[in-house]
Amino acid sequence: MKRNFWPMIMIALVAAGFITGAALYGQMPSAMASHWNAAGQADGTISRFWGVFLIPVISLGVLLLLLAVPLIDPLRSNIQKFKNFYYGFCTIFMVYMLYIYVLTMLWNLNTRFDMTKALMPAVGVLFIVVGVMIRKAKRNYMVGIRTPWTLASDEVWDRTHKLGGRLFIGAGIVTAILGIILSNSVIWAMIGLISAVALFTVVYSYVIYHKLEKAGKLPPVSITLKNN
């Protein structure tokens, strides 16, 4: 897929949020539900203007940041090596933000459902996409499992991300399934699962680095800064 095609899709997704908000603005209540507790019940409100446009504005800001990453990272040449996976993740993330927005708008149009059960499967899919991307990621400062040990060695980076990618995919599958069959406890289960994966990959990168260091298998790392 051509490089410029991805940003066009992402911009269209963000624009869809603004267009939807403008079209439905008059149908929204003056105080819109904006926060839901772990049981999927609305427990916070926000003014109509920000209720309608906050998520599209946040999506636009996140999009600009995501598009800037391949341009500002000192190792941006490495990001180019997995750019299709990176842009694919960015696009899915914009779909995820639009999905959250649609759920919010539906709720405020008096369509009632369990917000947690509606959201958690999508969170699981997002984790799966993250796992697929980081398995392909090459060493950089912005995307991936960035510990002192992965950033210091291409081998440590690759081995950590291959394992971490599988773990994130597994965590995503479990989160999606739990999101369908559970309700109140699924958020805490998801937080515990992802925290465990994150901690394990950090420790794993440390162990691998010191094993390679002890074996004298850590070549010097060079960072080449490019202007394009």
Domains of the chain by residue range: 5-214
Predicted local confidence at residue 227, as pLDDT? 45
Predicted local confidence at residue 222, as pLDDT? 44
Identify the three-state secondary structure at position 137: coil
Predicted local confidence at residue 171, as pLDDT? 95
pTM, entire model: 0.88
The CA–CA distances, whole Å, from 117 to 38, 47, 168, 181, 185 equal 10, 25, 20, 8, 11
The pLDDT profile of the chain, 228 residues, written as one tens digit per residue, is 555 788 999 999 999 999 999 999 999 999 999 988 877 778 889 999 999 999 999 999 999 999 999 999 999 999 999 999 999 999 999 999 999 999 999 999 999 888 888 899 999 999 999 999 999 999 999 999 999 999 999 999 999 999 999 999 999 999 999 888 876 677 888 899 999 999 999 999 999 999 998 888 776 544 444 444
Predicted local confidence at residue 194, as pLDDT? 93
Question: Which tokens sit at 222?
Answer: 């060079």
Could you tell me how far CA 31 lies from the centroid of its own chain?
29
Question: Which tokens sit at 13?
Answer: 């997704």
The CA–CA distances, whole Å, from 190 to 39, 116, 134 equal 14, 12, 19
Residue 45 pairs with which residues in a beta bridge? 33
Predicted local confidence at residue 223, as pLDDT? 45
Residue 126 — φ and ψ, nearest 5°? -65, -40
Question: Which tokens sit at 20?
Answer: 């939807």
Amino acid at 85: F
Which residue stretches of the chain are H helix? 5-24, 48-72, 76-79, 83-108, 115-136, 148-151, 154-181, 186-214
Contact present, 175 and 120 (Cβ < 8 Å)? yes
Predicted local confidence at residue 97, as pLDDT? 97
* Eight-state DSSP code of residue 146: -
